[in-house]
Amino acid sequence: MDTRLPDSSRRPPVLARGQIIAYALPAIPLAALTLPLYVLVPTFYTETLGLSLASVGFALLLVRLFDAVNDPLIGWAADRFRPRFGRRRTLFALSLPLTAVSTLMLFWPPAGVTTAWLVAWGLMLSLGYTAALIPFSAWGAELATDYHGRARIAGWREALTLVGTLVAIALPFAIGFDQTANAQPGGLHGLAVLGIVVFAALPLLGAIAVIFTPEPSEHSRTRLDLRTSLAHLARNQPFVRLIAAFFLNGLANGIPATLFLYFVSERLGLPDARGPLLFLYFLCAIAGVPFATWAARRFGKHRAWCYAMLAACLAFAPAPLLGEGNLLGFALICVVTGLLLGFDLVLPPAIQADVIDVDTADSGEQRSGAYFAAWSLATKLSLAGGVGIVFPLLAGFGFDPSSNVGSVQGLTALAIAYAWAPIAAKLAAIALMWNFPLDEAAQIELRNRIETT
């Protein structure tokens, strides 16, 4: 195998740390959307606004089905749209107003809100968020062309993603969701304050990224029609393998993320600890980011991710066995799984950038937008499984979060769904990724083919 580095005269300059940070800054408000949409919004619309668990689950599943059409179209546009200012930066900038307004509407609903409001603004937020995230992710993947440089950029972006996640936890829980004088529907409750913060921060930090981060070089030599493009994507076996593993691991993470608040409140009987435990979990994930980049250098990106997933399975296993009120035991699980979340956030996107090289070298067209559209869709569908599938199943077993007293059968189903069901999905993801074919040497050879043709 030829492991010579590409000619340095053909390689883009290495980004300064300040440019990488400027690029990563919008991850803060974008992350402040992700956790609330899948964890806080379902809880708020059911517990505070009084909508049924099944109707909220159906509404959010409908939004994800919309993504099945929305994501590929935006991915196609992200690759074909070539304005002078740059195809990644321009589409990203255009998406910010819709995303900001939709966030405010969804997080700050008026009194008497119905499921239709949740569906309508959920669809608008999905459209804006996807139009921001796909070019933003493709932008980051193309800013570096080397195996470890991609992990460095992903590390900065995901570290700031976790900062945004902590903001998304701290603000709502500090202000509160309860139906008090300050948290009535239409009032300035915690989720509304978060919506206002995102409404202000997303355009500001997005502008910083657009102004101070360069547009990446494009290495396309041809332009493919849709049929040929899809054929190349389907033949990209490393990508198919990676996205299958990513979907399974995303489902394994999405189920406990969706059920976290219910598990702590109903199963452990610790409703006042929900915010602090969630904050602890994501705080530890920030600490896990440098461990992930170190492990990628030590073991390779795919093998480091497998080790992390295996450790997460071991950490989750005792969760259903915890007794009511066992705060210390569950806090320890949060610390360990939080550290390992850093691996889930950093390593798969860095590997994704490598599998795009397979397509670019084979097809002659650099189509990062199409690949990150598929990536985005897999993410949303896996997370939606936690709402659209698990909620109705739990309701069938008698779990009702609006009831003051939960049934034994319902609480047992909640505990098993929270911890043991995700383990099976993670083990399947590990099986797919353990002998993944793209290591550093293979990626260097791909870059040689791309940059010397």
pLDDT digits (tens, 9 = 90+) for 281-314: 988 999 999 999 999 989 999 999 999 999 999 9
Answer yes or no: is pLDDT of 1 > 70. no
81 three-class SS: coil
The pLDDT of 235-261, averaged and rounded, is 88
Residues in the chain: 453
For residues 382 and 322, is the Cβ–Cβ distance under 8 A?
A: no
Q: Which of 11, 15, 55, 121 is nearest to 391 (CA)?
A: 55
pLDDT at 225: 67
For residues 221 and 453, is the Cβ–Cβ distance under 8 A?
A: yes
The pLDDT of 164-184, averaged and rounded, is 69
Q: How far apart are CA 193 and CA 174, in angstroms?
A: 10
Answer yes or no: is pLDDT of 8 > 50. no
Q: Which domains does the chain have, with CATH numbers?
A: 10-216+226-451 (1.20.1250.20)
Answer yes or no: is pLDDT of 14 > 70. no
Answer yes or no: is pLDDT of 23 > 70. yes
The pLDDT of 369-388, averaged and rounded, is 75
- pLDDT band with cut points at 50, 70 and 90 for residue 3: very low
Structure tokens, 253? 């993470």
Count Cβ atoms below 10 Å from residue 431 Cβ, excluding itself: 12
pLDDT at 181: 40
- pLDDT band with cut points at 50, 70 and 90 for residue 180: very low
Instruction: State the pTM of this model.
Output: 0.73
303-361: per-residue pLDDT in tens? Answer: 999 999 999 999 989 988 888 889 999 999 999 999 999 999 889 988 988 888 888 88
